[in-house]
Amino acid sequence: MHVILLGPPGAGKGTQGAILAQRLGVPKIATGDLLRDAVQKDSPLGREATQYMNQGLLVPDEIIMRLIGEQLAAPHAARGMVMDGFPRTIAQAEAVDQLLGEQGEQVSRVLLFDVPEEELVRRLLARASLEGRSDDTPAAIERRLGVYRRSTAPLVGYYRDRGVLTTIRGAGTVDEIAERITEAVGA
Ligand code: AMP
């Protein structure tokens, strides 16, 4: 089962993605984690990506496709995966469709996390003091929310048209939300 978690920064995709991946027995692939890892290792890809990430901008599609092409083709992903934080643009969504299609697979379900914007800002600022992420500053948070509205929100229509979109109410405890997700994917 190939599940995509769609939603703005701070919506809980990382936390819920880990729970869901464990329940389904498939890997969770998060482009944000892969990118932070590349930055930490100071790889050429990490050096290219870091300037965009620090500003709260999207890393160019071409870099993301290099990053996930391998992941999607890896044998451990054959039974499915939980995709956290990608696709984030229509071009990335088309690329995912194509990569999965080449393996005779398709996107099974897209879960849209619905969380009010004030709550997102509150969570992201709380995370900033806990994790010290360089893109959890007030200015970068504002920019990331704007980028989500402009570049990523159009994916809602893309997946609704394909009949695979389910909206998950993002209010409540971690356990309550995990239950809603389990129900939505029939895990
Ligand atoms: P995240 O951990 O998902 O919030 O991602 C952190 C940052 O990494 C984002 O603000 C972007 O700069 C970059 N990033 C992560 N995933 C993507 C993606 N699929 N496309 C473009 N940029 C991404």
Tens of pLDDT, residues 5-46 = 999 999 999 999 999 999 999 999 999 999 999 999 999 999
Structure tokens at 13: 């995709």
Query: Is 136's C-beta closer than 6 angstroms to any atom of ligand 1?
Result: no
CB 2 within 8 A of CB 184: no
Query: Is 135's C-beta closer than 6 angstroms to any atom of ligand 1?
Result: yes
What is the per-residue pLDDT for 59? Answer: 97
Query: Is 17's C-beta closer than 6 angstroms to any atom of ligand 1?
Result: no
Query: What mean pLDDT is reported for the chain?
Result: 92
Q: How far is CA 40 from CA 34, 49, 168, in A?
A: 10, 11, 33
How many angstroms separate the CA atoms of 113 and 10, rounded? 10
Question: 83 forms bridges with which residues in the sheet?
Answer: 4, 29
Closest CA to 64 of 34, 107, 106, 101: 34
What is the per-residue pLDDT for 71? Answer: 79
Q: Which atom of ligand 1 is nearest to the CA of 86?
A: 19
What is the per-residue pLDDT for 174? Answer: 95
pLDDT at 138 over 90: no
What is the per-residue pLDDT for 103? Answer: 86
For 37-83, how does the pLDDT look when each residue is reduced to its tens digit (9 = 90+)? 999 999 999 999 999 999 899 999 999 998 888 777 777 777 899 99
Q: 135 or 119, which is more confident?
A: 119
Within a 13 Å sphere around the CA of 169, how many CA atoms are in the beta-carbon half? 6
Query: Is 53's C-beta closer than 6 angstroms to any atom of ligand 1?
Result: yes
Query: Is 85's C-beta closer than 6 angstroms to any atom of ligand 1?
Result: yes
pLDDT band at 165 (very low <50, low <70, confident <90, very high): very high
Query: Is 64's C-beta closer than 6 angstroms to any atom of ligand 1?
Result: yes
**Hey, how many other C-beta atoms are within 10 angstroms of the C-beta on 59?**
20
Instruction: Tell me the Cα Rg of the chain.
Output: 16
Q: What is the percentage of the chain residues whose pLDDT exceeds 70?
A: 98
pLDDT at 127 over 90: no
Indicate the top mutation candidate among 50, 59, 144 to test ligand 1's pocket, ranked by most ligand atoms within 8 A of CB.
Answer: 59
How many angstroms separate the CA atoms of 62 and 9, rounded? 21
Indicate the top mutation candidate among 6, 57, 88 to test ligand 1's pocket, ranked by most ligand atoms within 8 A of CB.
Answer: 88
Global confidence as pTM: 0.93
Structure tokens at 113: 């996390």
